[in-house]
Amino acid sequence: MYGATPYGTAPVHSLWAVGKAAYVALVAAVTAELLLTTRAWSRLLGWACGVSVAITFPFLLLVWRLELASGYQDESTVGVADELFRSPYFWTSVTAAVALTAGSSTCACSGNSEGSSGSRSSSSSKSRSGGRETGSTA
């Protein structure tokens, strides 16, 4: 994805747009992964995950406005977040990135727990040594 729209305005066809889209997708994917893999659900966790995703959008909307207020102006950053958040292509890209990445590590190892793999390796080492425990004795 080089731009948010195929026939959009100039601000969304820049590297700034790609960076902002990647940042939003990364924050959303990491938060979704955290929610999928955690074992300690609480209201604090839900609140923290909600805030981490929600704070991303005002942050991106305020960055170029703060730069403009401080006297620094870069034409390539002005209005990029505004245009991205209006674009359905941006939201589709973020949704696709989260859907394709979140949960991928949990699906690969489903059914295997640390306890069962630990006992499996212990029994295989016993079978290789003729059924007796191996180890160094002093």
- Residue 24 included in any domain: yes
- Residue 20 included in any domain: yes
Domain count for the chain, please give it.
1
- Residue 131 included in any domain: no
Quick one: tokens of 91?
Answer: 């939201």
Q: What is the pLDDT of residue 117?
A: 45
Q: What's the alpha-carbon Rg for the chain, to the nearest Å?
A: 24
Instruction: Tell me how many degrees the CA angle 129-130-134 measures, rounded to the nearest 5.
Output: 35
- Residue 126 included in any domain: no
Where is pLDDT greater, at 41 or 5?
Answer: 41
pTM (global) more than 0.85: no
Where is pLDDT greater, at 14 or 93?
Answer: 93
Where is pLDDT greater, at 34 or 74?
Answer: 34
- Residue 127 included in any domain: no
Print the domain residue range for 67: 15-104
Q: What is the pLDDT of residue 55?
A: 93
